[in-house]
Chains A and B, each alone.
Chain A
Amino acid sequence: METTRTVTSIAPASRALEVIGGDLTERSLRRYLEGIPGVDAVGLEARAAALGTRSIKTTSKAWALDKIIELTDLTTLEGSDTPGKVRSLVAKAMVPDPDDMTCPRVAAVCVYGDMVPHAVEALGSAHDDGASGRINVAAVATAFPSGRSSRSVKLSDTSDAVAAGADEIDMVIDRGAFLAGRYGQVFDEIVAVKEACRRADGSFAHLKVILETGELVTYDNVRRASWLAILAGGDFIKTSTGKVAPAATLPVTLSMLEVVRDWHRLTGEKIGVKPAGGIRASKDAIKYLVTVAETVGEGWLTPHLFRFGASSLLNDVLLQRQKLSSGHYSGAAYVTID
């Protein structure tokens, strides 16, 4: 069985063809992934901790707080989500702080696929792909969060969301297949989902590939899955669904940023990174900005290349923002719930 599996051809994704070479098979993909240098966990965590000690004050802090808002995918992913809840979330996304109209808007709202029409409707003219200051709609898809369903269900999950107006698709990889070593299957699925992101006019919804690093556990796995997702055509690599602990951590995100940096060195192409889940405090979010800037460069601090997947983070940022302008801390009653 091993042999039949390894000689199987995999989808001829253009990036993989270019980097790995002509005869794309499960075996050539595996060899490539296994040839990536290892990660020393102690050293990686030490570097992340060191980046976390940067002291971001005064003007830098003000800039960072606004930047965090601009990079946020304001998220609600609950079984209890309703059109009303989504409208409320969208209102918050458009006007995060009603007392301060200089406050920037978030990058996107992130919802389940069936909520996409409600999000699109609520955004109205504020919904646009590309123009600055407009807000995207991101939909989780492919049997989020577990990814445990048939390929056809995952693909229609994706194409339904795109048809309903989603600008971005946050897919989950098949962690079971990855951990069983069936890299080709994971690869093919990403390629297929990417194809399902194609709109009627031939353009594509942005594809974020969720690795669910909390289930991959080792940094070596995270690094390998990051390469795999990029080779298969992902526009973004994303840490987590937010449904598994641990979700985003600074060392995991650093490790993914290193892959993105190396991909850029190799091909000149820029891939996005999205830590999601577990980032609740401004102070923590600033550590991520520092890590991005010092690993891949400040140029990555744009919504096209870096996002925070978060829900409660926004209000903490708003409180910190108010504190910077007023000089004193207010409280939960002075920011709106969404």
Chain B
Amino acid sequence: MTFLDYAPAPESASILNLKSEYGLFINGDFVPGKGESFTSISPATEQQITTVSCASEADVDTAVVAARRAYERTWSKLSGADRGKYLFRIARLVQERSRELAVAESLDNGKPIKESRDVDIPLVAAWFFYYAGWADKLDYAGLGPAPRSLGVAAQVIPWNFPLLMLAWKIAPALAAGNTVVLKPAETTPLTALLFAEILQQADLPPGVVNIITGAGATGSALVNHPDVNKVAFTGSTAVGREIARSTAGTAKKLTLELGGKGANIVFDDAPIDQAIEGIVNGIFFNQGQVCCAGSRLLVQESVHDEVVDRLKERLSTLRVGDPLDKNTDVGAINSASQLGRMRELSDIGEQEGATRWSPACTLPDKGFWFPPTVFTNVSTSHRIARDEIFGPVLSVLTFRTPAEAIAKANNTPYGLSAGIWTDKGSRILAVADKLRAGVVWANTFNKFDPASPFGGYKESGYGREGGRHGLAAYLAPAAVSSRGSSRSSSASSVKALRGGTK
């Protein structure tokens, strides 16, 4: 044995107290769904974790009705300070149960426990704390005095950061005074269901948050339900387009956070060791299953060889394996279908003439695994430089001048994230100014904070989540007529806003 073969240090799954079957969380209670229930498996072992209900169209309607009732009778009548109290309570409960939530997340999603423990769950709590603080300060959200909530929000979230995406959606919606029906991804419902238990613990009034599980049909029924006022979706660009089409012409407000093909730009004067870490964090964090991943590495040609050499050396120390082991750096791919896409696009990369490299690593027999992969000799016309692979696959391209770096970085239908690595502050500002990306990181990558807005340009979607900007997605400026007694009139003004769709 060598020291670097660290002895196994698994986080025990025995901290979890899971039920063998979960219903839909509607109106404050778990109720059986009318659809055909399905199982959630651990992508690391393919073992079944639990059975989950599937919400039929009728269940979706029940959930929306519950959310509407809670909105009109309870939530819209509470003061901001009182809504804030519930959000603070939820945030504290998330912290108290953080270890359990981290284990559940890694079990269900396949991400390394060190990420769910040190990134996902702390950010979940931070998001609730942050928006709890906003709940009684909406006058300062930039929408004028006494902005109004929208009503019922339909929220559909992805599987890559299951609980964090739930927090990004639910925290601002509740702070702004809306009620919620949320559908977690089909492959990662577990932490959303544990979160429903937290809501019961927090005594959140029934119906304010409803969590319905299911697949695409459930999500479609939810966003197309005539009585929702707001649709928020994070996921693939293809599904985002479909939702945009179906909500067009309705009074529903829409925010979309879709795919990306982020450029991570390394200039020749970059702090090299930290840039290498940033490249690793940019594309191998969460197995690269990150919409804002730095999947295109743009390196100044003069330092290309050195950067690639050092990157390969660094990747050889990455530990791929059991997501619950505290020393695992790269965990399992979330599903067989995602794995299939990574394999397909990587094969295409090879066929197109790019050079493929992976460090020596033994992948487990069971489960869905893909080794960290680097493609060099990639051209802008290659599909691996254009298509979102959504996996631990890095495409390395070169540039000669800052202008060329900017042009290549912007040469994509997406526009979610970008990174700049240089020791020169003036260059950071000059380049960031010209990048068409919603988030630009300087000398870091994949850093998130609830105070910072996040969102995309072009095919990466529209609307912003996080910060004061994130509130705008769940608020409307006060109607002039509602001056005076905004609280009692809020329900009726929302009806007016809905334009009689009920």
User: Does B associate with A?
Assistant: yes
Interface residues of B in 1-30 (CB under 8 A from A): 1-9
B327 touches A298 (CB 8 A): no
Q: Is B272 an interface residue (CB 8 A)?
A: yes
Q: Least Cβ distance of A21 to chain B in Å?
A: 20
A54 vs B3: C-alpha distance in the bound complex, in angstroms?
Answer: 12
Residues of chain A within 8 A (CB-CB) of B8 are: 57
Q: Whole-angstrom distance from the CB of A62 to the nearest CB of chain B?
A: 9
User: In the complex, which residues 42-77 of chain A have their Cβ closer than 8 Å to any Cβ of chain B?
Assistant: 42-44, 46-47, 53-61, 63-64, 67
A57: nearest residue on chain B (CB-CB)? B9
A301–B443 CA distance with the chains assembled, in angstroms? 31
Is B83 part of the contact surface with A, judged by Cβ < 8 Å?
no
Q: Which of B9, B118, B272, B327 contacts A37 (CB 8 A)?
A: B272
Dominant SS at the B interface?
A: loop
Which chain B residues border A47 with CB–CB below 8 Å? Answer: 273-274, 277
Q: 0/1 per residue, A294-331, Cβ < 8 Å to B?
A: 10001001000000000000000000000000000000
Q: Which of A43, A44, A67 has the most CB of B within 10 A?
A: A43
B1: which of A44, A57, A59 is its contact (CB, 8 Å)?
A59
Determine whether the beta carbon of B274 is less than 8 Å from that of A39: yes
- Provide the main secondary structure of the chain A interface: helix
* Interface 0/1 of B272-310, CB less than 8 Å to A: 111101100000000000000000000000000000000
Q: Is B423 an interface residue (CB 8 A)?
A: yes
Known contacts A55-B6, A59-B1, A298-B4: does B118 contact A38 (CB below 8 Å)? no
- Contact: A298 with B271, CB < 8 Å? no
| Contact A53 B274, CB 8 Å, known A38-B423, A42-B444, A60-B6 | no
Which of B2, B9, B114, B317 is the one whose CB lies under 8 Å from A56? B9
CB A53 to nearest CB in B, in angstroms, measures 6
CB atoms of B3 and A301 under 8 A apart: yes
A188 contacts the other chain (Cβ, under 8 Å)?
A: no
Kindly state the separation between the CA atoms of A38 and B271 in the bound complex, as whole angstroms: 5
Q: Given A38-B423, A63-B3, A258-B273, A53–B444 Cβ distance below 8 Å?
A: no
Complex Cα distance A42/B447, Å? 12
- Contact of A289 with B by CB under 8 A: yes
Chain B proximity of A50: nearest CB distance (Å) = 8
Q: Hey, what's the 0/1 contact readout for B423-455 against A, CB within 8 Å counting as 1?
A: 100000000000000000001100000000000
Are B443 and A42 interface neighbours, CB within 8 A?
yes
Minimum distance in angstroms from A20 CB to a CB of chain B: 19
Residue contact B9 to A55, C-beta cutoff 8 Å: yes
Query: Which among A57, A64, A67, A258 has the highest number of chain B CB atoms within 10 Å?
Result: A57
| Interface presence of B270 (CB below 8 A) | yes
Q: Which A residues are in CB contact (< 8 Å) with B6?
A: 54-57, 60
Asked if A294 contacts B317 (CB within 8 A), the reply is: yes
In the assembled complex, the CB of B185 is this many whole angstroms from the nearest CB of chain A, namely: 28
A40 within 8 A of B: yes
Contacts of B277 in A (CB 8 A): 43, 46-47
B326 proximal to A (CB < 8 A): yes
Q: Contact between B444 and A43 (Cβ–Cβ < 8 Å)?
A: yes
Establish whether residues A37 and B271, one from each chain, have CB atoms under 8 Å apart when the complex forms: yes
Q: How many residues of B contact A (CB 8 A)?
A: 26
Cross-chain contact A40 with B3 (CB below 8 angstroms): no
Residue from A39, A42, A54, A57 within 8 A of B273 (CB atoms): A39
Query: Is there contact, CB below 8 Å, between B423 and A54?
Result: no
- CB interface residues, A 227-250, toward B, < 8 Å: none
Instruction: Collect the chain A residues with CB atoms within 8 Å of residue B2's CB.
Output: 298
Asked if B269 CB lies within 8 Å of chain A CBs, one says yes
**Does A332 reach chain B (CB closer than 8 Å)?**
no
Q: Within the complex, what minimum Cβ distance (angstroms) separates A275 from chain B?
A: 18
* Cα of A101 to Cα of B157 in the assembled complex, Å: 60
Interface residues of B in 106-141 (CB under 8 A from A): 114, 118
> What residues of chain A lie closer than 8 Å to B327, measured between beta carbons?
54-55
> Does A293 sit at the interface, judged by CB under 8 A?
yes
Check A61–B271 contact: CB distance below 8 A.
no
Chain A residues within an 8 Å CB radius of B273: 37, 39, 43-44, 47, 258
Please indicate the chain B residues that have their CB under 8 angstroms from the CB of A294 in the complex.
Answer: 4, 317
Residue of B nearest to A47 (CB): B277
B4, A293: Cβ atoms closer than 8 Å = yes
How far in angstroms is the closest Cβ of chain B from A60?
A: 4
- Taking CB atoms, residues of chain B closer than 8 Å to A42 are 274, 443-444
Across-interface contacts of B270 in A (CB, < 8 A): 37
Contacting pair A59 B274 (CB below 8 A)? no
**Contact of B114 with A53 in the complex, beta carbons under 8 Å:** yes
A144 to B326, CA, bound (A): 42
Q: Which chain A residue shows the least CB distance to B278?
A: A43
Report the bound CA distance from A56 to B327 in whole Å: 9
Most buried by A among B272, B275, B444: B272
Chain A, residue nearest B11 (CB): A55
- What residue in chain B is nearest A39 (Cβ atoms)? B271
Task: Known A53-B114, A55-B326, A294-B317; judge A43-B4 contact (CB<8 A).
Answer: no
- Selected contact of B7 from candidates A46, A58, A67, A293, CB within 8 Å: A58
Q: Which B residues touch A46, using CB under 8 A?
A: 277, 444
Closest CB in chain B relative to A254 CB, distance in Å? 9
Residue interface bits B172-196, CB-to-A below 8 A is 1, else 0: 0000000000000000000000000
How far is the CB of B310 from the nearest CB of chain A, in Å? 9
Report the minimum CB–CB distance from B224 to chain A (whole Å): 44
Chain B: which residue is nearest A254 at the CB level?
A: B273
Return chain B residues, CB-CB under 8 Å to A298: 2-4
Task: Write the nearest CB–CB distance from A300 to chain B, whole angstroms.
Answer: 11
Using known A-B contacts A37-B269, A38-B423, A43-B271, determine if residue A57 contacts B7 with beta carbons closer than 8 Å.
yes
Q: In angstroms, how far is the closest chain A Cβ from the Cβ of B122? A: 13
- Rounded to whole Å, the gap between the CB of A296 and the closest CB of chain B is 11
**What is the bound-complex CA distance between A39 and B3, given in angstroms?**
28
Task: From B3, B270, B275, name the one whose CB has the most chain A CB atoms within 10 angstroms.
Answer: B3
Chain B: CB-nearest residue to A61 = B7
Per the bound structure, the CA–CA distance linking A289 and B326 in Å amounts to 17
Q: Which residues of A contact B118 (CB under 8 A)?
A: 53
Q: Which residues of B contact A59 (CB under 8 A)?
A: 1, 7
Binary per-residue interface labels of chain A (89-133) against chain B in the complex, 1 for a CB within 8 Å, 0 otherwise: 000000000000000000000000000000000000000000000
Complex Cα distance, B5 from A298, in Å, reads: 11
Distance in angstroms between the alpha carbons of A53 and B9 in the assembled complex: 12
| Interface pairs (9), CB distance under 8 Å | A39-B271, A40-B271, A43-B275, A43-B443, A44-B274, A53-B326, A55-B326, A57-B6, A67-B3
* Further pairs besides A38-B269, A43-B443: 9, Cβ < 8 Å: A37-B272, A43-B273, A43-B278, A46-B277, A46-B444, A54-B6, A55-B327, A56-B7, A60-B5
Nearest 9 A/B pairs, CB to CB: A43-B274, A55-B9, A55-B326, A40-B271, A40-B274, A60-B7, A38-B423, A58-B7, A37-B272
